[in-house]
Structure 1
Amino acid sequence: MITGYNTDVRHGNRIFHVQTEDKGLANPRIETLIYVGGEILDSYRSSYEDLLASPPLSEGVVQSRMDEQHRAVIRDIKNGKYDLTPPDLLEQQAFNDRPLDQAILEFLQQEGDVDTLELVLDQALKPVFGSPFRLRVKARLCHSQGPVAGAEVSVKLVSSLKKATSLVSGRTDAEGLFAGEVQLPPSQPGQCAIVVSCTSEQGFDEVKAAVVA
């Protein structure tokens, strides 16, 4: 089985998590799952059974197909395949059912005219069921790189089959830093991921990583 790909793709005001993996020789399939908010939005599956007809199987060829499929899904997302709202209605709906100042901020964020919050990890998330891990993140402004103090940080375990579970939460210090220890349960049904989100007056950002058994 070949190591897969995990990519977070920001498009509009949503973050898509794209996960591509090889299912192995017993089930020669390449599977790509698209998550939004911890739930599976769509999936793609392709077979490489044709490669088994001419052994030995080249891992490089399988890896190339995985890469191509992963990139194709990311292109679909960036091209608007999963957009919820037609472009000509975005501005109109930006001012529906939300406070005016929030609507204005989100609209400016989409236009790239404000220095918005971004969440940065000191190391990649590699959560494993039944194992604790230390989390250290920094909230900063994406253009000026200045720290964002007092931002609310939340870490949740999300699943495709059950309600999300809060694991740890808190606020960033004067340097924009937040650290904590996360304890994962021994197991959880469905496709699971850790979602680290950060909220402040400067905006919202989140990062996500699939949990492995």
Structure 2
Amino acid sequence: MITDYNTDVRHGNRIFHVQTEDKGLSNPRIETLIYVGGEILDSYRSSYEDLLATPPVVESTIQERMDEQHRAIIRDIKNGKYDLTPPDLLEQRAFNDRPLDQAILEFLQQEGDVDTLELVLDQPLRPAFGSLFRVRLRARLCQSQSPVEGAEVAVKLVSSLKKATGLLSGRTGSDGVFTGEVQLPPSQPGQCAVVVSCTSDQGFDELKAVVVSV
């Protein structure tokens, strides 16, 4: 039996939990998840399909690759790959990585100088596998509380092990309200969450909720 790797790594003022496991010969992947505070910060997957081409597959060879991958992720952490961005660099990155108008809008929002979009839920999001997921939200301006009409809403299912899947999309009405419902799949590999995003000329906001099993 191949043993999983689990290591707590203290770097700076944070503790990273690194978990590496073999997904088995039916899915020949080695997966490493990085957790901080119980949430997945990043993931890395590598394949060992090449070993299946020359059977029998020796468990010790897979274990060696797991060990190598696990140690490489720990080195990345200790070398500062996941360090928090200092405030001065954070402001600079805002203007380097996004369109200028969006960067300015977000910067002013943080300074409290503009009335930007925010999402408000009547009830908390409670997505569950195999159940009907309903969402009702209001898009409004955070200072004046005025409804935002025609804001673009997208609802996606995201997973730590596969690409995101679109569930719902549409626009808010004249009252700033968007409603919709969709049947969630019975199951999904990895840690999953529903992400609800809203975009308009007044800004961007996003809500997330972890999908639970019933």
TM-score range, shorter chain: 0.5 to 0.7
1:161-199 Cα deviation digits (max 9, x unpaired): 111111000010111011111210010011111111111
Distance, in Å, in 2 between the alignment partners of 1:84 and 1:146 is 35
Partner of 2:105: 105
Distance, in Å, in 1 between the alignment partners of 2:136 and 2:122 is 6
Q: 1:180 to 1:113 in 2, by over 3 A?
A: same
Partner of 1:33: 38
Q: CA deviation at 1:107?
A: 1.1
Partner of 1:198: 198
Q: 1:83 to 1:201 in 2, by over 3 A?
A: farther
Higher relative contact order (CA 8 A, sep 6+): 1
Aligned residues between the structures: 139
After TM superposition, which residue ranges in structure 1, 4 or more long, deviate above 3 angstroms? none
Q: 1:83 to 1:198 in 2, by over 3 A?
A: farther
Residue segments in structure 2 that go unaligned for 5+ positions in a row: 1-35, 43-81
Q: 1:192 to 1:98 in 2, by over 3 A?
A: closer
TM-score by length of 2: 0.60
> Are 1:208 and 2:208 an aligned pair?
yes
Distance, in Å, in 1 between the alignment partners of 2:140 and 2:183 is 26
Residue segments in structure 1 that go unaligned for 5+ positions in a row: 1-30, 35-39, 43-81
Partner of 1:148: 148
Partner of 1:90: 90
Distance, in Å, in 2 between the alignment partners of 1:95 and 1:32 is 29
Distance, in Å, in 2 between the alignment partners of 1:93 and 1:210 is 29
Distance, in Å, in 2 between the alignment partners of 1:96 and 1:142 is 26
Q: 1:32 to 1:87 in 2, by over 3 A?
A: closer
Distance, in Å, in 2 between the alignment partners of 1:155 and 1:210 is 13
Partner of 2:139: 139
Q: 1:147 to 1:83 in 2, by over 3 A?
A: farther
Partner of 2:181: 181
Partner of 1:64: none
Alignment identity in percent?
A: 80
TM-score by length of 1: 0.61
Give the partner amino acid of 2:118: E
Give the partner amino acid of 2:184: L
1:117-170 Cα deviation digits (max 9, x unpaired): 111111111111111122111100111110001111111111111111110000
- What's the Cα RMSD here? 1.9
Partner of 1:158: 158
Distance, in Å, in 1 between the alignment partners of 2:186 and 2:94 is 41
Distance, in Å, in 2 between the alignment partners of 1:116 and 1:161 is 34
Q: For the pair shown, which has the larger CA radius of gyration, 1 or 2?
A: 2
1:170 match: secondary structure: strand
Q: 1:98 to 1:32 in 2, by over 3 A?
A: closer
Q: CA deviation at 1:89?
A: 2.2
Q: CA deviation at 1:84?
A: 4.5
